[in-house]
Structure formats: C-alpha cells, structure tokens
Structure 1
Amino acid sequence: MSVSHEDITDRLISVLDLETIDRDLYRGPVYPGAKNRVFGGQVLGQAVIAASRSVVEEKKIHSLHAYFMRAGNATKPIIYQVERDFDGRSFATRRVIAIQGGEPILNMAASFAVEEEGMHHAAPMPEEPKPDELINDHALAEEKDGHWPPLIIDLLRKPRPFEIRRVSPRDDIVPTEAPPQMSLWLRSWGPLPEDSQILHRGFLAYVSDIGLMGTAMRPHAVRYTSPGMVAASLDHAMYFHEDVDVTQWLLYTCEAPWAGHSRGLNRGRFYTQDGKLVAETTQEGLMRLRTQQKDQAS
C-alpha cells in the first residue's frame, strides 16, 4: 500500500512526540518501518524535543552539541534522560542522555535563550539555482533508473519526511573527485503546526544529518556505498539563529574544510529562499576505508 507524502511527515511528527515516563524522563517511539541502525538525525531530533520540554516557552533552543557513542537499534524505543543544569533570566542549559538497552548511545548539551534585540550581521546566501529549477529525488530516481546502481536508485526513492532537490547530484556509477561542497533545497512534504518552534527545530535537527557527512567524501571519489566504506556520525553541533519554518524551502549548503585520520569535518548553513541565515551545523564523521586497514596490516 502506497503512503502519501503527508503521511510520511505525520510519521516523523509522531516519532518526535515523546512519551513522558516521569519528570525529565521520556521514551522516544520507533520510526515506522525502520530497520537495523537508527538514523542519527532521529536521535538528535528526539533529544531536542526532550530538552525543550523542560524549558519555559519563552526560551528557545539556540545551540546544541551532541556526541554519538553507539549505534542505536532502529526497532527499539530510546529513553531520554534530561538534567536541568541551569535556569537563569536569559539562558537555560540542559544535558540529555539517550539510552537504549541500558547503555548511552548519545549525549547532548543544549542552551536556550530568550529573544533579544542587538547587533546583527550574517553571511550572505550563495548563488544557487532555485528549487523550481531543480527536480526532487523521486524524479531523479526515475531519470537515472537503469543508469545508476540499483542501491542508489532505491535510496533516492526511499520515503522521507522531506522533499529534497539537489543542486549538483553526483553520478554514482563511478564517483570522481569533486570539490568538498554540496547544496540542496529541502522542505517537509506535509504541514506542521505553525506555532511550534520546538517541533520545527526538532525537524531541522533531524534533517541536518542527511547528506552532510558525504561532503567530506567528495574530494576522495568515494561515497557511503563504496566497497569497504565504514561511515558514521561522530558528533553534531547546531546553532539556531532565527525562527524556522521547515514547511518552506530551505537551502542547505555544506562544505568540508578538512579530512584526515579516517575522519571528515563538515559544516552546513540553512537559508530561507529570501536569503535569511536561520541555522548552522558542524559535524565530524567517521569515513574509514577497510582497504586502508588491510594495506597497513600487510
């Protein structure tokens, strides 16, 4: 049975609707149909929701720093334990531990702030094609079917809560060296409550983990599916500068200034269509080629 785009968005809304077990203790639902490892963006988004529930509405999350410690099981719920470290007039800080099977799989520190007037400047949005000039992943899969590997086509066709339109899709038959840069447009397929910045920022945390780490792989002519590639998010930081509306097009532009020692550093920025910088990300990821290990051992 086919699932509508709105249903897919509703799935993520339900996944981010944590069950309250006790004060500052929550259970995160399983993403319907998920298998194997849990998607890092899901854990991050649920942790954002858990932390936000313990803070007064006037204070919004403006930064987070998280570490992924273990791979989570996508078929089992995750427990989120929140510690209230500080509550001041302007700021509040929280720590969150995501627990599965009695072991922590992620820890996160988050800061919340009231909105204030003050000095302002922002990096300008780069010149990129507009979303109506591009095709989404589903249309790209139809266009490349029979030309790109079936695994890549299946990934492009995979139902996601977000519509994605890539500025420069990679030819994944034979990856070639490319600059460590990536840009795409994204928006949620279905509607979200307009007045819930907690949910919109949770959604943005979820989607910020899509494609970011691959930016550091581009100069090395490899991808997630390359033979021997072991890839995983190691940490993740986000800064929320302005209110976010994930139902409207956002440009996600990424760069990778460094890679080495089987790790890659990636940075991303989210812009609205009218050029407002609303959020930024930084992530270090594991990108280990097993063939390198074999060569070193021989």
Structure 2
Amino acid sequence: MGDERARPWDQDEMLRLMDVRPAGPGRYTAPAHGPAGRNVVEAGQLAADAVVAAAKEIPEQRVTSAAMVFSRAARHDEEITVELDVPHRGRTYSTVQARAVQRGRLRATGLILMGADAADLVASTAPMPGVPGPDALRPFDPPEMTVGGREIRVVDDAYDWDPAHVGPPELFAWIRFAAPPPAGYLHAALMTQSTTHWTIAAALRPHAGYSEAMAHKTISTGISAVTVAYHSDVDVTQWLLYANRVVYTGRGATQSEGRVYGEDGRLVASYTVQGMIRPLDRTSPVSGTTL
C-alpha cells in the first residue's frame, strides 16, 4: 500500500472499492484502486464486494452468511466484475452464487445466503473472551496496515513482526471506523474485510523463527477461503472485537475460527478462515499472491 502515486488508503477509499455498482442484469463492478506497493487485492475485500452485490440484488433480505474461495489473485489497478446467479429466491431464504472476475478470469467464487429476519423463538450466544478492552491497549498502526479513519488495537501486542517472539496461536484485535457508512450492507462489508487479517499471523505465533514480516518475502502466505455468518446488525463506528483462534496448521495450510463481538458482549458475526503457509517458490509467477 506504499506507492505514492496511489490513492490514500482510508475509509472512504475502502467504501468506494466495496460499494459495487450495477453494470447490467446480475453484474456489478468494483472500481480499481490504482497503483499499489503490492498489487494484490485482499481476500476480505473480494468477499465484501460479493456481500454488497448480493445485498443490492435482493434488497428485501439481508446477508446471513457468505462463503468464498479465492482461486487466483486480483489486481488493485484494474476493476473487478462480480457476476451473480440466483438459483433460488424465496420468502424466507434466497441463494446467490457469486463470481469475482478480472481480465475474463475467475478470481474468487462464493455462495451467499440471504434471509428474512424473524422474532427470536429462543436465543443464546457464545460468551465474549475475557480480554482487555480497547481503552486499555495502545494503538496498532504499522505502515503496512494503515487505513485513515480506522483504529486497531491488538491485545498483548500479539501481531508481532519479531520472529523471536512466540505465543499461543490466537489474536484478539479491536477495530472501529471513524464515520458511519450510508447503508447497513456497507457496515457489513467493512466488518467482513477485516475477518481475513489475523489467521496467518496467529498461526505463526507459536513457531520461533517465523513471523508475519516474512510473508511474501521468504514464505508464501495468503487466504484460500473464508466463511462468515452475520448474526446481528453491526455498527463499525463502535469497537468490535475480532477473536481469532487457529485450530490447525500443517500440510501447507492453516485453519482458524473467529468471532466478532461488540464492546457490550453482543455476538455480531462468526467466521472461519483457511490460509496458506508454504516456502516461497520464486520460480512460480503466482507464488505468494493468493489473498
């Protein structure tokens, strides 16, 4: 994100990229960001594009879950097309198939479940982890992750570039944005974009000699798949806790389970992420570019 010719990375730019525009029946386009230090679109951004497209395609229902597989890297300097099929449109639930395409090639594909809300028959929630609140933590703002209008605070400073620092395979991060987006699905999009940030760093934490600083330099990392379930309406101007725990790492892959809580303990969303961690093959033109 460091190229000086690029648009600044701020909340308005993220919303511009994710607020996809209608471009014909079942088609939406996400604009190009422009030049960037690393010309690879984040997986969470592609998932958010699909969520917004589905919300616009079936506006009378809300997104209840989204599952995306990231097959090939997309570029920041060209627009992305989101193609939708709706194999089932019902009063209670609707099914949307989404494909993110760039240069005529598939970049990501997914399945989105839309639903009509109902009153609670019964209700329960997994308890919020007992971690320090955001006011007790220092701001986390490395140049590689700086987005104007977004605040991040990481519990125990666990997102660490020092390969000598080790810890359990988990990350807890608080995030909030400065300004409210103009639509509920854009709140959901900003929340979704952040779900893919934590798995690789958490998976590397227990292993001395490895850290996130090595990604795309000496090790090949990226996000292969994400599934998000949307439980409650979200307000991204309020602090949200991303509680991310890695449950498996091996065979060149890692798997995490995550939950998003409001500061009041309300469970907003839950998610799973599969990532890739492999030796960097510098002979491969796509090594380290799947995000």
Q: Structure 1-normalised TM-score?
A: 0.85
Does the aligned pair in 2 maintain the 1:26–1:50 contact within 8 Å? yes
Decide which of 186, 195, 201 is 1:208's aligned counterpart: 195
Moved more, 206-215 or 122-131: 206-215
Question: RMSD between aligned alpha carbons?
Answer: 2.0
Paired amino acid for 2:157: P
Q: Aligned residue pairs: how many?
A: 269
Provide the residue aligned with 1:159 in structure 2.
147
Paired amino acid for 1:176: H
Q: Structure 2-normalised TM-score?
A: 0.87
The higher radius of gyration belongs to 1
Does the aligned pair in 2 maintain the 1:10–1:190 contact within 8 Å? no
Inter-partner Cα distance in structure 2 for 1:135 and 1:244: 24
1:13–1:122: structure 2 CA closer, same or farther, 3 Å change rule?
same
Deviation string 1:28-71 (CA, Å, 9 cap, x unpaired) is 112355341111111111111111111132x1111111100001
Give the structure with the higher percent helix: 1
Inter-partner Cα distance in structure 1 for 2:110 and 2:50: 7
Inter-partner Cα distance in structure 2 for 1:281 and 1:213: 15
Does the aligned pair in 1 maintain the 2:73–2:107 contact within 8 Å? yes
Gaps of 5+ in 2: 282-291
Deviation string 1:102-154 (CA, Å, 9 cap, x unpaired) is 1100001000111112211111001111111112123xxxxxxxxxxxxxx53
SS at match of 1:30: coil
Decide which of 273, 276, 281 is 2:263's aligned counterpart: 273
Provide the residue aligned with 1:296 in structure 2.
none
Does the aligned pair in 1 maintain the 2:176–2:237 contact within 8 Å? yes
Shift of 1:276: 0.6
SS at match of 2:229: strand
Does the aligned pair in 1 maintain the 2:162–2:211 contact within 8 Å? no
SS at match of 1:190: coil
Shift of 1:101: 0.9
Provide the residue aligned with 2:224 in structure 1.
234
Matches within 5 A, 1:186-225: 186-193=175-182, 196-221=183-208, 222-225=210-213
Does the aligned pair in 1 maintain the 2:97–2:112 contact within 8 Å? yes
Taking every aligned residue pair, what percent have the same amino acid on both sides?
28
Does the aligned pair in 2 maintain the 1:27–1:80 contact within 8 Å? yes
Inter-partner Cα distance in structure 2 for 1:31 and 1:84: 28
Does the aligned pair in 2 maintain the 1:238–1:280 contact within 8 Å? yes
4+ aligned runs moved over 6 Å, structure 1: none
Does the aligned pair in 2 maintain the 1:137–1:164 contact within 8 Å? yes
Matches within 5 A, 1:1-298: 8-31=10-33, 34=36, 35-57=38-60, 59-117=61-119, 118-138=121-141, 153-155=142-144, 158-160=146-148, 162-170=150-158, 171-193=160-182, 196-221=183-208, 222-226=210-214, 228-290=218-280
Does the aligned pair in 2 maintain the 1:9–1:191 contact within 8 Å? no
Inter-partner Cα distance in structure 2 for 1:274 and 1:38: 32
